[in-house]
Structures are given as C-alpha cells and as structure tokens.
A and B are shown apart, each in its own frame.
Chain A
Amino acid sequence: MSLARVDWRAVLDRLPAWHALSLPARETALTLPPGDPVPLPRLGERGAELETASLVRAVDRGSRVEVASPFRPLLAALRRMKRSQVFERPGRAALERYLAQQLSVRELRELVAGRPGAGHELRRLVASRASSRSWVGGLLAPEGSDAAARAADGGSGPPLPADSRVVLECRRLVGGLVAAGEPVPAVELAAEHPDRDLLAAALSAGLARLWFLAGLTPDGRLPVVGIYPPALERIRRPRAGRPRPLEVERPYRSALLLDEMTTVLVAAVADPPRLTRSGSRLFARARRELEEALAPLPAPVARLLESSRADRVERAVLALSQLGYVESRGRPGEDLRLAATAAGEEWLAEDPKTRLQALLDLLRASRRDVPGGGGFLKETIRFLPRRTRRDLQLFGLELEGPLVEAYASLEPGQFVQLTAFLRHRAEEENPLAVLGAARRGGRAARGPLTDEQLERLWAEVLYDFFAERLFALGGAAVAVVEGDRLAFGVTDAGRYLLGLADDFEWQEDGGEIVVQPDFEVIFLAPSPPAEAALGRFARRRQKGRDFGSLFHITRDSIFAAAAGGLTAERVLATLDRLSSKPVPGNVRRQIEEWFARCRRVAAEPATLLRCPDRDTALLLLAAGGGALEPLGETVVAVRGKRLPAALKRKLRAAGIFVEPASG
C-alpha cells in the first residue's frame, strides 16, 4: 500500500500514542509486520511498554504478539516512511526511489497526464517535475494569476483533486510547509486541526500528487511531512531583483568575429590557405597558422566564450563563405585553396567601422520581426544564433522582439553583472511562459516545461545572443567585477544591432599602443578593435595571453595589405591614429617604399607564334592585323589559349601555315 492510500484518519488518531513511546520501543515497533504475529521474545525488553501502550496484543496463548488492529494503519505508514530517505539525503536518486516505493506506474502516469512510458522513464519524468518550483506553483498561485491559469490548463503540475475543500486544505497545508521551511511533525498538523477527516483527505491527496512527501526523523523515528527539499529551496529562494548598475574599470570591447574574419581574409588575399581534397576543410597546418594569427583573448573572456581557436577559425571561414567573401579555388585534390573573392577584397579594403556595419546591417536585415527582414540569409549571419533557432524552432515563437527588449532595458553606458541580468530576465521577465512556450514545447517534448526549464531556456537564448552576436560584434563591452564576475554593457554598436540607434561610433582605441622603430607594434593594454585594424597590414606575433600582444610590420605583411587594396596613406593614417607616440620616421619611410614597390600585372593566356625569321614575323603581323602582338623579332602572340579558326584561315590565305610546336 502506498502512503497516499493509508487510512490517514486512523494514523492521525494514533500519533500521540506513538510519540509517547520511548525511542527503543519505536525502533522495536517498526520491526513488526502490521498483519503478522511474531514470537514474543522478538520484542525483548520493549514488550511490556508496547503492550501497555496497547500497540501489540498477545496471541497463540501468549507465545506470540501482533500489532493491535487500531495501530495497523499507523505501523503500515511508518514502515513505509522508514524506507524513505528523501529528507535525509535529498537528491534525484532518493526521489526516484521514493516514487518506486510509494507510487504505482498507473499513479505515476496520472501525474503526467497519461504520458506513455516504462516505469523508470515515468519516475525520471515525474522526479524532474516534482523538483520544480512550478509543481506546487499552480496550487499556491492566487486565483486569476498566470500560474493558476497554467495549472488549470494542465500546466506543469499534477491534476487538482475534484473536491474543492480538499484543494483548499492542500493549499493551506503546502503554504504552511513552505513557511516552515523544513519538514513538520505530522502530529503537529493534527494537534489543533478542527476537521481531522479533511486533513486526512488532504494528506492523502497531497502525498498522491507529491505536493509533499512523508518520512521519519532519523533520530526520533517520528513521522514528518514536508515539501521535497530542492523544490522547497527553489520556492523559498528570493526572486531575482533588477541587476544594479555597476562602476567598472577598463571595459573590454572587441568585435571578435570581425577580427577573425579579417585575419582569415587577409590570409586568403595574401597567401590563400590550402584546403583538403574535398574543399570542405582547411589543411591542419593552414588552420594552425590562422589560429596563431588570431587575437588572444583575456582569460575571463576566454572562459566566457568557451570557444577554442579552432572554433573561431571555423566560425570565420563559415561566415566569410556564406557572405561570399571567400571561395575555394584551384584544382580539387591538387592545390585547392581558400581564396578571397572580389567582394571579399572590397569588404577588406573598407575601414573597420564600415566592415562592421556591413555585418551588423546583414543581421538587422535578417530579423523576422522587422518589415522586409529575414529569409534569404543562411545560418551564420542570421539575427538569432543557430542554437537559439534550433532549440526554439518547435515553439514557433517570435523571439526577436522580447530579446531586443531585454537588452534595451539597459541604459547606454550602464554595466550590470551578466549572471544577475540573465537570472532577472529569466525569472522575472521571461516571455516564454507568456507566449505559451511551456505548452508548445510540451507537446513536442515530454510534457509541459517546468518554470526552471523555461527560465533556463530563456537565459540560454539571452546568453547565446550576448556571446555570439553582441559581444562577437563589438555590441557589448565586458569588465571583471567583484573578484571574477563578469559585468557587461551594451555599446553603441550593440544598440545599432538591436535597432535602437540609426548609427554607431566605432573607433579603435589608441593611447596605449606603441609603434617601435624596429617595426614592432606593442599593445600596453588590450585593444581588440585596434588589433582588428592592425591585422590587415601587420603580422601578429603571439606573445603572452592577455597583454602586450604584439604585431610586426614586415615587407610581406605590407605586400599582403597592398594586394588587399590598402594604400600606404591608409596604413600610415591608421598607425598615426592608434599610436600614442609618433610613428618613427624609418618605419614611415619603409612602409611607403614597400607600397611603392608593389605593381599589378595582368595575367592572360596567349598563344605564341614562333617564326623562323624576322621577315616571316613581319608577314604574319601584316596578315593578322590588330589581333597579333609582336613580342620580339621572331615571336608574335595572339590572345587566348588557341589560335582562333578565323585567324588561322586568314593566315593560311596569306600563305602562312600554323603548325603545332614540336615537343
């Protein structure tokens, strides 16, 4: 018999007698099977006390004893409670054990609206839900509230009892248990209750629905009733308040994705990295070189993003490919390379702000909640990150608006702790519940989602957008506060991305960058935007993890920049703007000279016509006209891989026969 099916009226009536027993007598009594006689000696020294309390009576001429019938419901209930350790060692395993002991599969299934599944699956599902705040949320919710409506609508809690008096009594009981903050002795519940029948009914109903559980105190063997501790903790936890604004020092801002894309694209222009035979991946060495060229991240940021250098290269290649800025070029299996397209070179030639704005505009345009937005763009460059779209596609909800609203709640320049922000928005401003995500998600998954699941989901949506969009594109600045906690604020670029501004400021931070006469550029403090700007014409030399990162201006890096469309004037203007000291004269002069040495040469296929002597070459030129170009005294060229048939005929008519070269 499960605890819910015990005769709780009988149990309540006999509880004072149980409390009056000594602990050893209670221990002895708990060893007695309620319906089966046992030999008298088994009671040992406690036999007399138990007999006096009328808990046992002698049978078989006094050789054996059995539990007196008025005490049998109590003993049955206590023995079941004894097996439960759900208050002593709360945890998922203890709860599942409790469920296995107390509820049948049929009863479990009723708790989850008849969902199919084997016993262990149902136990896992019920344990998960019963651990939630929302399991009793519907019961406690005031009439007319969202939670009450969700409970009535078959939300995440169990079905309510049919008898409204029992419902009210359950609510009173649960309310008292929440207020108590710990399991309450059952005898206290009964002590002053005016209607023990109603209390008994409420106990049965509440235990059957797992609103509360029953167990024995380990030291006194006294029955207690309480809410499952993890759920109680969640219910009692203060709600997350609005995050308080913080003063921060040295906020760190970076358009990481821009920097990564720039790094890859610079390589694709200057020395296209090799691709594997299939063209789908970079060769390990090429990838490693790109990884080494990426900007190092400060440790807190690296921890925040949890993405490896390899991930960052992959992300950049994907973004560039999808934007049509790079393509695989060459012969598959022989020398396939990731090369920049004309559009890529054009983008690369822009200043950092224009490049960033191009990306932000694409994202803004992909918003589904903006007229004319969305649709045509592929994965990487959509407003919502891929995981968000994957996780929430089942819901079919418009999330862009609420997401923008969440970040728009921060004033410009205001910094708040990231986790406090996420928790507040998830707990107090969670649009998923309002939008009916619990039920929509529930239909596709295993039943309605709990409050905690909805909160986690929304926090993840907000976090992914923060990490993959706002921070990656310079839309958020971060700072370490209170030891190792991360605070953030939405930047101008972030507000632009969110559609809260029509333009944004984007300047590389100068002031702590030094261009040295030996062509090195040293960062005395991190400045990712400046690193992104320098990455176009200087080679990163990995040094340290956080500070002092260093670039080297070399002939090759300048040639690569020139190939990508940069000019000496623009490079020097960037250096002048960034460097806190005047750019050394030798560096300035050398950069100008390197640029001056760059030439563009057009390559085109041509067919060479080798003549035996100068006269023949002259005849050839006379016959061929403008299509032919003399390359020397006896060599004439014609554009194209083959001699045009018409020209061949024309020459033949002039008595000049073109034959394939021997060998």
Chain B
Amino acid sequence: MAHPRDNPLIVQSDHTVLAEVDSPRFAEARDRLLAFAELVKSPEHVHTYRITPLSVWNARAAGIGEEEIVGTLEELGRYPVPDNVRAEIAAYAGRFGRVRLVQEEGRLVLEVDDGALAELLARQDAIDPLLGERLSTTRFEVPRLGRGRLKQALVEIGYPAEDLAGYAAGEPLPLSLLPERRAGGRFALRDYQREAADAFHAGGTSRGGSGVVVLPCGAGKTIVGMAVMARLETSTLILTTSVTAARQWRRELLDKTTLEEDQIGEYGSAAKEIRPVTISTYQMLTHRPTKEDGFPHMDLFERRNWGLVVYDEVHLLPAPVFQVTAGLQARRRLGLTATLVREDGREGDVFALIGPKKVDVPWRVLERQGWVAEASCAEVRVPMPEELQMSYALAKPRQRFRMASENPAKLGVVRRLLERHPEEPALLLSAYVEQIRGLARELGIPVLTGQTAQKRRDRIFDDFRTGRLKALALSKIGNFAVDLPDASVAIQVSGTFGSRQEEAQRLGRVLRPKNGDNQAHFYTLVSRDTVEQEFALKRQLFLCEQGYEYRILDPEELEAHPA
C-alpha cells in the first residue's frame, strides 16, 4: 500500500500514534482515531494518541473491529504500521467478546467462546471464586452480586466481558427536556450532546445503558446527563464531586426539564432527601465517623429502585464507590468526564464497572464550533521582593514552595491584570486560604472559602452571575464544578504544586462560551527563580499538551502584550 507523505499519522512501535495537525486529512484522522486510541496530548502541531488494550476494547464495544482499526492506520499512515502494533491490535481485539455475560432463564450466565478458554478462566485464582455452578463446558452461572467484580477481574486478566445481561427497569419517572428554559430563553440540545445521549442509550438495548461520555470542560456534560435521563424516564441517582456541583445539577434540572422541586432531593450533610431524582456527593457517600467504621451512607444506592446512576467527573470516582458500583451492575450507569485518564491508574475499573467509552469529542472541535471559549494562557514571572530573597534561600525546602506561592509582589500584578480586563468577570484562585483572604481584602472583592456559609456563597455566586460583581476570590473550592458562566478571566496566584487536575479544573472555569470574541484569559502568577517555577513548568506542559497557547511574561511586559 502506498503511504502518501502528507498523510497525518505516524504509528510507532511503542503503540503511540502521532497525528500531524497541519495535514489535510488531520480532522478525519482525529475523528477515526478517537474510536480506538486514547488522546495522550494535543499540543499545537503534533498530537499523540496511544493504543491500549482498553482503547481497543472500547472500540470493539462500539462495534469497531481489528480490520477497521488497522485499515485506518494503514490508510492514514505516513509509513507502514509496525508489525508488532498490528499483531497487538489483533490480539487485543480478538479477546473482546470471547466472554459474555447474559441473562438465561432468570439466571446470570457467563458464556465463553470455547472450552479451552473456559478452562483457563476457571483455573484463574482471581476468577474461580466469582463463578458459580458450571452449567456446561463453556457456561458458568454467576452470582448476581458478583457481576461487577467478575467484570473487573476479567479486565485485569485481559479478557473483558461483553455485558449483555441487561438492566433493571427502575422506578418510572415521567420526564422530558423543556424547549424554553424556565429562567428564560430557548433551549435545545446541541448536535454532539444529542449524539452522546443516543450513543449511550443505544435505542434502549442491552448494548447501551452503561458507559462513559467524554466531553471537554464547558461542553455541557450536565446537559448530556439530563438528555439521557429524559430518554430513560426512570428514577436517577446523581453523584457529584461537591455540594456546589450538586446545586448546579439541581438548578439545571429545574431550569431545563419538566422535573419539579419536590421531585429532586439532595442527600447531603444538611438534608437527606431521597426523591425520584436524588443528588449527592462522593464525599457524602464515603464519609464515615472513624476510619474503623463502615460507610453509613453507602446504602443510598439501595434505598430506592434507581433506574440510572450518573457519575459526574468519573475520573475522580473514589475507590469505595467503585466497590459499591461493582454491586450495581444491574442498573444503568452513566459516567461523565473530561478525561479518562485517572491519576490513580484505575481506568480499567471505569471500563469494567461504569462501562466503555461511548463518546469522545475533542475540545478543539467544540472551540471551532464556538461551543467553548478560546483560551489564551500566560505565565507571569514575578520576582521575589529583595528583602525576602535571603529568607527564601535559607528556608527549608518544604517551606520554600509556600513562601514563593505567597510572594506579596503578586498583589501588584493581580491589580494590573484586573485593570487590564476591567469589564470582564474575573476569578482569583489560590491554594491558600490566608493568601486569598489577604488579596481579597487588599483588592476589595468578596472571597469564598470552604468555610463560607452556603447561603452567602449562593448570594455571591448570584451577584457574580448577574454581573453585579466583577471579580471574585476563591480558595480551593473554585477547583470543582462551580458554575460561573460569565467568568472569562482566571488568575491563579498559587496552586497545589504541579497538579494537572487542578489546572484543568481551574481552566474549565473560564471555558464556557463567551459573548463577543469568545475569548478567555488564564493567568498564572509564579515567583521567578523559585521552586514554584519548577512546579509551574509541569502545569505549563499540561496546558501546552492540551493545545493551548502559552506565553511567559515578565510583569513589565504585560503592557506590551495585548490581552
């Protein structure tokens, strides 16, 4: 096969695939690659994908076979596909579907393609205890409660089960999306949101009903969740990362669906309502009085006949919730996330217990369509004041990061940045409560921390949303799922070392579409020649890998560079 030189892909023998953005067939290559490869990073010119067993199994679950995968790589490759990659893809793909979970006369049964494989599985220490009676050479009864754990174990040994056993219907809940928002204005699903809901639902068959939708921050994952709920019309448990995020879900449901106040319950520390739609947080579920105690709120999963469980930000799903989810395999499960990559490496558990990836829309696509804002990122390197330089040099290594993060000279730069964007809603983000309080005091803007009462928090958010407030200071609570639709400038004055996740979340605060030029600004203030600069490099790399333009500026250069 000829391999034209302007083809976009280079398949490497370590299973990575490089995709050249400037190639005329890049967009096609990107869309086809996403079906069977994980996007590792997408800097400006060349994107990197990786083909893994999970990515191939995700593709197989979506009905894409080995021939199509290799065919795509061959067709769009600049060079021949390395033999080892071809062989591995065949091996990965060949394993999917050889083991199936099905319903048979009211029993849950594991079907295996052939006797030899059945024997191999039965002799695995991790599998054997999870199997019940052997019904024939290739069929085993599976205890209902072991469905999830068996799927986990099968993924671990490289034979993922295709779960065709179906789902419990759940308690019916009439529900639909409104064409007009209650707060005013038209509402309709965007195409990619509708496609995501359709891919998950799969026409109501057993091939759908569980899986993960990957959408960039600001793309409306909540809307996709609501669209799925409207298709299933069943009682739903929604799990989020924070109370604020839970409130946002509630607000969205009331604004855009036919659900009424009394149909939505919040299960949290303040109130423990269990209603047809119940929203809770991972923290609530995993709360326990002492380390020795069990998780008293975990029975929430069983306290109603849920037809759907929604896992918001599924990449943050805590381990104990995985354990419980393993026992919930008869219920439909929807995972929502901006990334499948977990910092704890438990992507396999997401695949086994929540389900395969159903949709993955690159943010660049949404940016071009205007569904997310264009973000420009800049790092401003702020010198340490001379009087602090010696104390910094003599400080213990552990103290240096904090000293650099709390560099008082950052205040002046924040002022200049706010003056640079006088009419744009701005967020000031810090990892340290004392620092953010001090800055807020100096700047005369309100501050929100974890200790701020919910009422005050809601009021400030409301003022910010309506434009009465132009700037708002946030402690770490700003990292997760705060709905601030009008924020278009974020200034992070300090961060949690080099956390990429925090960077993504903070950036997400300004990615929602903007009126006008749809431009967002993301500033990071870093103390020059300090350990903070080293950690900032990790954040810089992360943003560059995501494809954002990243500039490094001195404070004096702020005037010279247009905002």
Contact = CB atoms under 8 A, between A and B. Distances in A.
Interface of A: 514, 516-520, 522, 524-525, 543-548, 555, 581, 584-586, 589-590, 593, 597
A627 to B, nearest CB: 31
A585 B14 CA distance: 30
A593 B16 CA distance: 32
Nearest to A585: B551
B424 interface: no
A516 B79 contact: no
Main SS class of interface, A: loop
B13 A517 contact: no
B82 A518 contact: no
Given A545-B13, A585-B552, A586-B540, A522 B46 contact: yes
Contacts of B128: none
B366 interface: no
B322 interface: no
A518 B41 contact: yes
Contact of A548 (B10, B549, B552): B10
Q: Which 8 pairs from chain A and chain B are nearest by CB?
A: A544-B12, A517-B544, A518-B544, A589-B552, A548-B10, A516-B43, A586-B550, A514-B45
A296 to B, nearest CB: 10
Contact of B549 (A514, A517, A520, A543): A517
A597 B530 CA distance: 12
Contacts of B13: 544-545
B18 interface: yes
Interface in B24-45: 41, 43-45
Nearest to A588: B552
B16 A543 contact: yes
The CB with the most chain B CB atoms within 10 A, among A518, A525, A545, A590, is that of A518
A517 B20 CA distance: 14
A588 to B, nearest CB: 9
10 contacts: A516-B44, A516-B45, A518-B544, A519-B544, A545-B13, A547-B12, A547-B78, A555-B537, A585-B552, A586-B550
Given A520-B43, A597-B529, A547 B544 contact: no
Contacts of A514: 20, 45-46
Nearest to A514: B45
A590 B549 CA distance: 14
Interface string B532-555: 000001001100110001111000
Contacts of A545: 13, 82
A555 B544 CA distance: 17
A265 B315 CA distance: 45
A82 B551 CA distance: 91
Contacts of B82: 544-545
B550 A546 contact: no
Nearest to B552: A589
Nearest to A515: B45
B-side interface size class:
20 to 34
Contacts of A593: 552
A597 B533 CA distance: 13
A543 B551 CA distance: 29
Given A547-B10, A584-B44, A524 B78 contact: yes
A262 B379 CA distance: 35
A516 B12 contact: no
Contacts of B10: 524, 544, 547-548
B18 A586 contact: no
A586 B552 contact: yes
A566 B296 CA distance: 63
A399 B537 CA distance: 58
B16 to A, nearest CB: 7
Contacts of B79: 546-547
Nearest to A521: B46
A544 B14 contact: yes
Contacts of A546: 79
A559 to B, nearest CB: 13
A517 B550 contact: yes
A522 B541 contact: no
A543 B40 CA distance: 15
A14 B544 CA distance: 96
Given A517-B549, A545-B13, 7 more contacts: A516-B544, A517-B550, A547-B79, A548-B10, A581-B44, A586-B544, A586-B550
B43 A517 contact: yes
Contacts of B18: 522, 524, 548
Nearest to A581: B45
B44 A517 contact: yes
Interface in B9-23: 10, 12-14, 16, 18, 20
Contacts of A589: 551-552
B541 A543 contact: no
A519 B542 CA distance: 11
A519 B20 contact: no
B12 A543 contact: yes
Contacts of A585: 550-552
Contact of A518 (B5, B43, B379, B552): B43
A550 to B, nearest CB: 8
Nearest to A523: B10
A518 B529 contact: no
A35 B5 CA distance: 81
Interface string B252-281: 000000000000000000000000000000
A590 B552 contact: yes
Nearest to A548: B10
Contacts of A519: 541, 544
Contacts of A581: 44-45
Contacts of A517: 43-44, 544, 549-550
A272 to B, nearest CB: 25
Contacts of A547: 10, 12, 78-79
A514 B544 CA distance: 14
B361 to A, nearest CB: 22
A522 to B, nearest CB: 5
Contacts of A584: 44, 544, 550
Contacts of B43: 516-518, 520
Nearest to B553: A589
Contacts of A518: 41, 43, 541, 544-545
Contacts of A544: 10, 12-14, 16, 82
B467 to A, nearest CB: 33
A555 B549 CA distance: 21
A518 B43 CA distance: 7
A590 B551 CA distance: 10
Contact of B20 (A524, A543, A590, A597): A524
Nearest to B534: A555
Nearest to B547: A517
A525 B20 CA distance: 12
Contacts of A516: 43-46, 544
A218 B446 CA distance: 109
A585 B537 CA distance: 14
Contacts of B379: 586
A524 B4 CA distance: 13
A517 B550 CA distance: 8
A584 B550 CA distance: 9
Contacts of B12: 543-544, 547-548
Nearest to B540: A586
A548 B45 CA distance: 13
Contacts of A522: 18, 45-46
Nearest to A517: B544
Contacts of A586: 379, 540, 544, 550-552
Contacts of B549: 517
B320 to A, nearest CB: 35
Contacts of B541: 518-519
Nearest to B84: A545
A517 B544 CA distance: 6
A543 B14 CA distance: 6
Contacts of A520: 43
Contacts of B46: 514, 516, 522, 524
Contacts of B44: 516-517, 581, 584
